Amino acid sequence: MVKVLRAILIVVLFIVFFEVGLFSSYTIVTSEAPDVQGLINMQIDEVSGLISSDNVNKVLIKDPTPVEIDNKQQIALKIENLSNVDGVNIESMNMSTYDDPDDENFNVTIEVLGYESPNSTSSQIIISQNPSYKIVATANSTSRGVVDIDSIKIQSILKLY
């Protein structure tokens, strides 16, 4: 019984020490008296938000769901223009989402291989069949099977060696 009371006392002292530190640092940083009730409510909201079922489901790692998109040609042209590559391989285009693909609007991650312009050396043009870049982009779907072309944003362009 004494060990349980000690443990509870240590937890209570830790919480009190933390709160006193929070209030004093708030006073030092803002040069104002702290709103005690507002700070306590903010902490309770943050802790309850961390353990809510919605946030727990977002934290769990899940595999992306492959998505079939109909306007691959337009997507390839837009990615080609945004990333300044010479060409994009439509057959290598992978689209996936972590959102529910049954929703009307959801975010899509697009991965595609890109080619740089052909090298010209000593009046010969050498065209390589090997991709030069891996491009990762994100976009929003406007309806099932169609990506909003204006929402495409390049996330990364990786040079392949």
Question: Average pLDDT of the chain?
Answer: 83
pLDDT greater than 60 at residue 86: yes
* pLDDT tens figures, 64-85: 888 888 888 999 999 988 888 8
In this structure, the answer to whether residues 39 and 70 fall within a common structural domain is no
| Residues 45 and 72 reside in one and the same domain | no
Are 75 and 146 in a shared domain?
A: yes
Q: Count Cα atoms within 13 angstroms, Cβ side, for 84.
A: 2
Domain count, the chain: 2
- Name the burial class of residue 154, with classes exposed (0-12), middle (13-18) and buried (19+) by CB atoms within 10 angstroms of its CB: middle
Whether residues 150 and 80 share a domain: the answer is yes
Same domain, 71 and 16: no
**Whether residues 120 and 150 fall in one domain:** yes
Domain closes at, from 24, 44, 59: 59
Q: Are residues 116 and 75 in the same domain?
A: yes
pLDDT tens column, 124-139:
555 556 788 899 999 9
**Do 71 and 44 fall into the same domain?**
no
Domain that holds residue 38: 2-59
**Residue scoring higher pLDDT (93 or 59):** 93
Taking alpha carbons only, the member of 135, 121, 123 closest to residue 86 is 135
pTM: 0.58
Q: Which residue has the tokens 């390049």?
A: 154
